[in-house]
A and B are shown apart, each in its own frame.
Chain A
Amino acid sequence: MINPEAKLAANIFEKPDTASTREGFGKGVVEAGKADERVVVLTADLAESTQAHHFQKAFPERFIQVGVAEQNLATVAAGMANYGKIPFITSYAAFNPGRNWEQIRTTIALNDVPVIVCGMHAGVSVGPDGATHQALEDIAMMRALPRFTVISACDSEEGRKATLAAAKLGSPVYMRWGREKSPIMTTAETPFEIGKAMEFWRGESPSVAIFATGSLTHNALLAARELEKENISVVVANVHTIKPLDTEKILSLARECSAVVSVEEHQVHGGLGGAIAEFLASEAPTPMEFVGMHDKFGQSGTGAELIEHYGMGVKSIIEAVKKAKERSVKPS
């Protein structure tokens, strides 16, 4: 059942409200701008699709257009942050950090300045644009950088809160955002803290822990509900912060359940699943299945079609849970 402490929205299964996670960024960054006048927003010719235009309207004097130049986006922001501003840099994840990763590494991470890198339209769910625009490697790229915090919000409300928290962090942050509308699971009352995973669902005596990030967390919940009907009990934890990983939570759930499934709209290499596997391998080796993109590029189609086709739908999560459970060595 739904974990009451998560204070999730009513009716998240039947008819959830929907919004894209990037809309949460649009709202959150305006609130962050109100709270702190050092906040500035830069975009590389994508004000509206990144939702930065809300900030542009609210604070035109703190909005900076750099043109289609993602390397400049990162480096101009690095200079501004070095001076004392708190810049959010916005473009598609395929280009930011896809194209400007070295600039991010040298002038933001190594330079140690608090720039918040926002990669929009991440994942296959961006759909018709096709593989060039479907960033599936961004978590891996950013997770590898020292000093960076990496956040992937599960819905627009969590994204709003994460944006506010990122502005206050004082160190480099990568935030990953989706284009398509997705179910809003969390509410204003849902606790949010960078680095703290949260159980959204807990069955009785669970045998598998599902760690999900981004909007696929909703698919994980749908899978949990289906599995319950088959008397397979799971925990679903929303891992919005991929770095630093909530190792305490992951370790306790892995020990409790004895089998683990990761769910993410990202290559299975180097993303959330990779991070959890690296950690568990050294602390508590646990049978694990990975739901995500298996070393492929996407293609054009609707977001829903692509999620199903590439094995990130509810059915695939159910299969992964069953497989993980079979492999588990939990003593009865």
Chain B
Amino acid sequence: MSITDADVKNIESKALAIRKTIIEMLAEAKSGHTSGPLGMADIFAALYFHILKHDPKNPAWEERDRLILSNGHITPVRYAAMAHAGYFPVEECMTLRKFGSRLQGHPERDKLPGVETTSGPLGSGISQAAGYAYAARMDNKKFRVFCATSDGEHEEGNTWEGAMFAGKYRLTNLTAIMDRNNIQIDGNTEDVMPLEPLADKYRAFNWHVIEVDGHNIREFVDACDEARSIKEKPTMILAHTTPGKGVPSIEGDYRWHGNPPGKGPTDKIPADKQKETFLKELEANKP
């Protein structure tokens, strides 16, 4: 699936729209995670607007590609991407985390069509995606299974059990994307619990590994194409991202992992005011 300059521009503009929606929905919800969703906006824009075979008007379409979100806490980026892709009105994003909403704080499969799995507790996405891919291969299904996973959840044993399983069974129809943003709640990953060398670890588990800049649309799309061409192994796209990407005042700061605008780690700025600041930063720093 080659990509033109025009495609890249379009995806970048979608990523900006997704980021704005993320800021707005988090400010409205007054709770939720900011860094991760912003950091994965380029990848989710590329997935929903270029890579995935899907139909927003028919979320249950049997031949759709499956996108399993393992680190459920970054679900605002998925909700925003789905809304902009046409699964539901963008305004519904403002119901995030509110009573009666389909947009639960952590995503639930039976609440919102198009959400493939319930997730939040870390470490179970790779296994579920692997089980899904294994079952689909039994029935010669042509769709692909994608799994978005975080670096922090590679401290969970379950993640590696799933990686071992996918490697053993050569699940070529599985592409995982790791958000390598180097942060987790309590600090930088390499301080909390060192994870490196991640690429070598996956290669040792019989995966094909591609490292990309997670904010370079063309690199990421090319990596997904390469994954499609690998016939012997599952693929891990190790996407190096910047947490909080697009809002320089919070970029790279682990203390923004779990806070929404208005509840920053150091300052006491009202949510509405901080939202406006963040939106201005986004506009000023757009590609």
Contact = CB atoms under 8 A, between A and B. Distances in A.
Interface stretch (B28-36, B127-135, B238-246): B127-135
Interface-centre pick from A72, A81, A84, A112 (highest chain B CB count, 10 A):
A72
Contact of A76 (B108, B117, B130, B157): B130
Given A72-B165, A75-B128, A84 B108 contact: no
Given A69-B164, A71-B124, A75-B162, A111 B117 contact: yes
A77 B121 CA distance: 17
Interface string B220-259: 0000000000000000000000000000000000000000
A218 interface: no
Contact of A79 (B118, B121, B131, B157): B131
B109 A112 contact: yes
B119 A106 contact: yes
Interface string B110-132: 10000011111101100111111
Contacts, number: 96
A72 B127 contact: yes
Contacts of A106: 118-121, 124
B20 to A, nearest CB: 31
A76 B162 contact: yes
Nearest to A111: B118
A188 to B, nearest CB: 32
B52 interface: no
Nearest to B116: A82
A149 B152 CA distance: 34
A111 B119 CA distance: 8
Contacts of B272: none
A116 to B, nearest CB: 14
Contact of B109 (A69, A103, A111): A111
Interface residues of A, number: 27
B135 A71 contact: no
Q: Which of B118, B131, B138 counts the most chain A CB atoms within 10 A?
A: B131
Nearest to A102: B121
Given A102-B121, A110-B108, A80 B134 contact: yes
Interface stretch (A60-68, A246-254, A293-301, A307-315): A60-68
B161 interface: yes
A78 interface: yes
Nearest to B156: A71
B124 A83 contact: no
Nearest to A105: B121
A107 interface: yes
B161 A78 contact: no
A157 B4 CA distance: 64
A72 B127 CA distance: 6
B136 to A, nearest CB: 6
B13 interface: no
B10 interface: no
B164 A67 contact: yes
A110 B119 CA distance: 9
Contacts of A103: 121, 124, 158
Given A82-B117, A110-B118, A111-B118, A75 B134 contact: no
A298 B16 CA distance: 60
Interface in A41-66: 61-62, 64, 66
B135 A107 contact: no
Contacts of A77: 131
Contact of B158 (A62, A64, A71, A80): A71
A20 to B, nearest CB: 29
Contacts of A82: 109, 116-117, 128, 131-132
A134 B104 CA distance: 38
A231 to B, nearest CB: 55
Nearest to A110: B118
Given A71-B127, A72-B162, A75-B127, A64 B134 contact: yes
Contacts of A62: 138
Contacts of A112: 109-110, 118
B60 to A, nearest CB: 12
A201 B43 CA distance: 65
A40 B157 CA distance: 24
B134 A76 contact: yes
Given A69-B164, A106-B121, A110-B108, A75 B158 contact: yes
B128 A79 contact: yes
26 contacts: A40-B135, A66-B161, A67-B161, A69-B161, A69-B164, A71-B127, A71-B161, A72-B158, A72-B161, A72-B162, A75-B131, A76-B128, A76-B131, A78-B117, A79-B127, A79-B133, A79-B134, A80-B135, A82-B132, A83-B132, A83-B136, A103-B124, A107-B117, A107-B118, A107-B119, A112-B118
Q: When A and B form their complex, which 6 residue pairs have the shortest distance between CB atoms, in order from nearest?
A: A79-B131, A75-B127, A72-B161, A76-B131, A79-B128, A79-B132
Interface of B: 68, 108-110, 116-121, 123-124, 127-136, 138, 157-158, 161-162, 164-165
Interface of A: 40, 61-62, 64, 66-67, 69, 71-72, 75-85, 102-103, 106-107, 110-112
